[in-house]
């Protein structure tokens, strides 16, 4: 189907329509060989609360943005190369059903579909595009992924010290490595994670110590290049920020205490241990 549509007028018109909806704030999307395969609205689990987002699936990229006027105007355009994407199906929660995670080296986040059938179709089309693209480029699937941010409403206290209580004056922060919700005292350190940003990013104290240890181990390995290395250096998974949350209201239901987050296989109470 991709080869059939690649050079057709209808494909060019569809891509032009998407570009027009994003306006001047969006990046050009028309490229030779690029095909728009489908679009739809998915619910994205954001930092403050779940929000609808428009998604466009191309044969080589996934594009999504905020909905201003459906079918007419979008903003906050994000472009994700499909060869960097890994998918993971997630269990339902009380708030959201038909969930799965879109994981990349720079940003990982959870989305949900309106039905189980819709989720299966999205995942099927995405996986087919990813497989075709990797086969075409000869690249291996991405194995290092950014950690998704745990929603703000998941906890009223810092997930590291478990002492500081958040309030209007005491802000929540997110560690860019583990994605935990932490207080300022537990996340005063910054660490350079080149895959995510050219600038040092906020990390919690525990992740900072781990990253320093990894950096020291890498430096020692570089000083003895002729010696065999028997253990692989554990890679870290930088987290990423959220999109368009600052302008939204923060009225969201409290997450239940037994909510399971992503692939942790542990409940919220276990984060305190």
> Burial letters for 242-253: b for 16+ Cβ neighbours within 10 Å, e otherwise?
bbbeeeeeeeee
Query: How far are the Cα atoms of 11, 112, 239 from residue 107, in angstroms, in the given order?
Result: 29, 17, 6
Model pLDDT for residues 41-51, shown as the tens digit of each residue: 999 999 888 99
Q: State the pLDDT confidence band at 271, using cuts at 50, 70 and 90.
A: very low
Q: What average pLDDT is seen over the chain?
A: 83
Eight-state DSSP code of residue 112: E
- Mean pLDDT along residues 143-153: 88
Cβ count near 129 (within 10 Å): 22
Model pLDDT for residues 113-136, shown as the tens digit of each residue: 999 999 999 999 999 999 999 998
Model pLDDT for residues 226-269, shown as the tens digit of each residue: 555 443 333 333 334 455 444 444 444 445 545 555 654 433 33
pLDDT cut 90: percent of the chain above it: 60
Secondary-structure class of domain 149-219 per CATH: alpha beta
- Mean pLDDT along residues 44-71: 94
| CB-neighbour burial class of residue 76 (10 A; exposed 0-12, middle 13-18, buried 19+) | middle
What SS3 class is residue 266? coil
- Which of residues 40 and 230 earns the better pLDDT score? 40
Secondary-structure class of domain 3-145 per CATH: mainly beta
Query: What's the pLDDT at 153?
Result: 86
Q: Which two tokens stand for residue 133?
A: 């693209």
- Which residues touch 256 (CB under 8 Å, ≥6 apart)? 94
For tokens 């969201």, name the residue.
Answer: 252
Sequence ranges of the domains in the chain:
3-145, 149-219
CA distance 85 to 126: 9
Query: What's the pLDDT at 156?
Result: 93
Q: State the pLDDT confidence band at 8, using cuts at 50, 70 and 90.
A: confident
Asked if residues 182 and 171 have their Cβ atoms less than 8 Å apart, the reply is no
pLDDT cut 70: percent of the chain above it: 80
Query: What's the pLDDT at 194?
Result: 86
Query: How far are the Cα atoms of 25, 127, 137, 236 from residue 36, in angstroms, in the given order?
Result: 20, 15, 19, 34
Strands (E), 11-106: 36-45, 50-58, 61-69, 73-81, 86-89, 99-103
Bridge partners (DSSP) listed for residue 58: 36
pLDDT at 202 over 50: yes
- Mean pLDDT along residues 57-73: 95
- Which residues touch 133 (CB under 8 Å, ≥6 apart)? 59, 60, 82, 83
Cα atoms in the Cβ-side hemisphere of radius 13 Å centred on 95: 22
């Amino acid at each position: 189907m991709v080869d059939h549509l690649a050079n057709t007028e209808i494909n060019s018109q569809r891509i032009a329509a998407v570009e027009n909806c994003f306006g001047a704030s969006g990046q050009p999307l028309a490229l030779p060989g690029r095909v728009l395969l489908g679009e739809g609205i998915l619910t994205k689990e954001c930092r403050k609360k779940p929000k609808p987002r428009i998604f466009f699936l191309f044969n080589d990229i996934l594009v999504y943005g905020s909905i201003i006027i459906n079918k007419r105007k979008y903003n906050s355009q994000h472009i994700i190369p499909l060869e960097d994407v890994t998918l993971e199906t997630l269990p339902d929660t009380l708030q959201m059903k038909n969930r799965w995670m879109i994981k990349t080296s720079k940003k990982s986040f959870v989305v949900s579909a309106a039905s189980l059938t819709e989720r299966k179709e999205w995942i099927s089309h995405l996986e087919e595009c990813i497989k075709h693209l990797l086969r075409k480029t000869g690249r291996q699937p991405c194995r290092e992924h950014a950690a998704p941010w745990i929603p703000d409403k998941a906890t009223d206290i810092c997930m590291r010290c478990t002492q500081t209580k958040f309030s209007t004056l005491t802000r929540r922060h997110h560690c860019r490595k583990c994605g935990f919700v932490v207080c300022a005292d537990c996340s005063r350190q910054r660490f350079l994670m080149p895959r995510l940003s050219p600038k040092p990013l906020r990390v919690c104290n525990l992740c900072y110590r781990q990253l320093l240890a990894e950096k020291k181990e890498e430096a020692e390995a570089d000083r003895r290049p002729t010696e065999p290395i028997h253990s692989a250096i554990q890679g870290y998974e930088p987290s990423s920020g959220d999109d368009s949350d600052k302008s939204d209201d923060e009225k969201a239901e409290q997450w239940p205490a037994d909510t399971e987050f992503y692939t942790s296989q542990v409940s919220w109470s276990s984060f305190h241990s």
